[in-house]
Amino acid sequence: MIPVRVPTSANVFASLSPTRSLLENAPSERSWQLAAWGVALTVAIFRILYLRYACPYDLAPDEAHYWDWSRHLDWSYYSKGPGVAWLIAASTGLFGHEMWAVRLPAVLCGSLTLIGLFDLTRRVYRDGRLALAAMMLALTIPPLAVGSLLMTIDPPFVCCWMWALVATHVACFPGPRRSLRDLTLLWFALGCLIGLGILFKYTMVLSIPSLLLFAISCRFLGLQHVRLPSTPRDLVSLACPVVVCLAPIVIWNANHGWVTLLHVGRQAGVQGGGVIWLGPLHYLAGQFGALFGFWFIFILGSVLAAAWKIVPSRRDRESLPAFTSDAQDSKAIPKASWIATDQAVFLLSFFVPTFVVFFAFSLKTKIELNWPVTAYLSGGVLAAGWVLANCRSPVTWWRKLSQGLLATAAVIGLAAVILMHRTDWLYPLLPIQGAGPDAVSLGPRRWDPTCRLRGWRTLAAEVDALRGQLRKEGIEPVLIAGGWALPGEIAFYLPDHPQVYSIGSANGGRLSQYDFWRPNPVWDPEAFRGRTMICVGDLVPTAHGAFGRIEPTRYVVHEVAGHPVAVWSVTVCHEFQGFDQIQPLGY
């Protein structure tokens, strides 16, 4: 989409808002806020009921891995901060080791993120109706729906980023009656949100250069009315909670060889390797697909439109619109503008750094689809006003095209969100491609990502039955897995939640958190010498020598509506002696 062309006599911004400003009509503003809270609460209740009574999906490997962390609470962990483990531990401590309890924090964080999206949109455009519409449309975006159901590091991280945006906006655009004490508290609150976000995901640090970019842009464009953290009191209030939250991560890493830095460096591709010239193209294509095309176009279109608005404003600083929370100054917003310049600068400043950083890193490493997710929070708010302006364009064909694209995106997105809750509804419509382990790659697993969330209870039942057979022979087996993604799944779905060890670092894989929990079979063989082990996952040839005798491998296949969707190998290994070759693939 392209920036809408508006005659100078039309005030598009006014058309986005009610006849009277929300700030001129407090009851109306409160009604929109109550509606937003009502929607968020209703969505949370439905999601909890779905997880409790109707969800067909087991924990994803990442979720089970973090659940395993929550049983070993620590200052920090191999690849992430301690936030996700502490949050899961709090939930399971209250409600038990149940699937829905593990995912409950994701549901709550998802609804809080929706409230934050509403609040920021309302503040930027001063339009409760537009803010509620943006919030409702967010419910039709599949990645956001997934992020409100699966308990990975992303739901709490995104929630912290969203509310950090709100706190930053409130602090940078203060009302006329705001005291210095209030501003100090706001900067402190922002520091707490940034620090908490870092405890969940290190990408939260990108909020700092985003704030710096906003400050530089305001100075460059002469936006003198924007309040920035410039005094020592402001900076200390902002920095202190960040430093406090970083402390547990630094302490843990200082005692573990700074392994997190090595791991993050490997993920970012800074430890070697050539340039991936097609990486940026793959990055953009992946983001396009993840956002179903429409939302990617809407967001990038609004970014380009906002940038086009800002660039020439340097030549005429007096024409820059000034945002103010004082209703009496609402007429300060100029005509022929779908967003005030200072608001556009704010949203762009929190979109560009994250999006561009991962674009740059795509030249060195594969970028996962969820890594730049926080860029789309401010980008989505920016798109909300731009899309509505296009939908009200005086150019008939452009208005109808914009309305059609928005309606199509909402309908397709809503259908996808509904279907993702039960993708197995489609399975009876598909021909069965075969049976057994070899048929798994031919069926729904080719196109259905939810297959990764299926069958873990089936696998655990088979392992438990095999464990029972060995116990009848007087053998208490040790449970091991060939990589880091399997132990948490097996431990969670076995009735007694035993300790399951990973031998990934001796089995051709990289190091993981399991290498730091001692004792373990890889680094402490004497504690397990002579034991019988049940290994889930393949054993590489170099690992076979660790055992005196290995039984033939058996395979566990999980089917849905007759379609094989998952398969695992299970091997009983006797007389453990220790691994001769331990050469981890890296960090």
How confident is the model over 172-183, as pLDDT tens digits? Answer: 998 777 788 888
Of the candidates 578, 550, 574, the residue with the CA atom closest to the CA atom of residue 475:
574
Q: How far is CA 244 from the centre of its chain?
A: 23
User: Rounded distance, CA 77 to CA 309, Å?
Assistant: 45
User: Rounded distance, CA 243 to CA 237, Å?
Assistant: 11
Residues in the chain predicted with pLDDT less than 70, given as ranges, are 1-27, 270-273, 312-337
Q: What is the pLDDT of residue 311?
A: 76
How confident is the model over 14-63, as pLDDT tens digits? Answer: 333 333 333 334 557 889 999 999 999 999 999 999 999 999 999 999 99
Other beta carbons within 10 angstroms of residue 543's beta carbon come to: 21
User: Rounded distance, CA 366 to CA 273, Å?
Assistant: 12
Tokens 């906006």, residue located: 169
The pairs formed by 404-409 with CB atoms below 8 angstroms and a separation of 24 or more are 405/1, 405/294, 405/297, 406/294, 406/298, 408/294, 409/140, 409/292, 409/294, 409/295, 409/298
User: Rounded distance, CA 186 to CA 180, Å?
Assistant: 10
* DSSP code per residue over 50-98: HHHHT------HHHHHHHHHHTS--S--SSS-SHHHHHHHHHHHHH-S-
Other beta carbons within 10 angstroms of residue 212's beta carbon come to: 13
Q: What is the pLDDT of residue 312?
A: 60
Question: Cis peptide before 495, with omega less than 30 degrees from 0?
Answer: no
Give the pair of three-digit tokens for residue 530: 């002579």
Q: What is the pLDDT of residue 22?
A: 35
Q: Which residues touch 106 (CB under 8 Å, ≥6 apart)? A: 147, 148, 149, 150, 151, 152, 155, 156
Q: What is the pLDDT of residue 27?
A: 57
End-to-end, the C-alpha distance of the chain in Å comes to 42
Q: What is the pLDDT of residue 586?
A: 80
Q: What is the pLDDT of residue 163?
A: 98
* Torsion angle of C-alpha atoms 27, 32, 35, 41, degrees rounded to 10: -110
Using CA of residue 310, residue 313, residue 319, residue 325, what is the dihedral sign? Answer: positive
Q: Which residues touch 368 (CB under 8 Å, ≥6 apart)? A: none
User: Rounded distance, CA 340 to CA 334, Å?
Assistant: 8
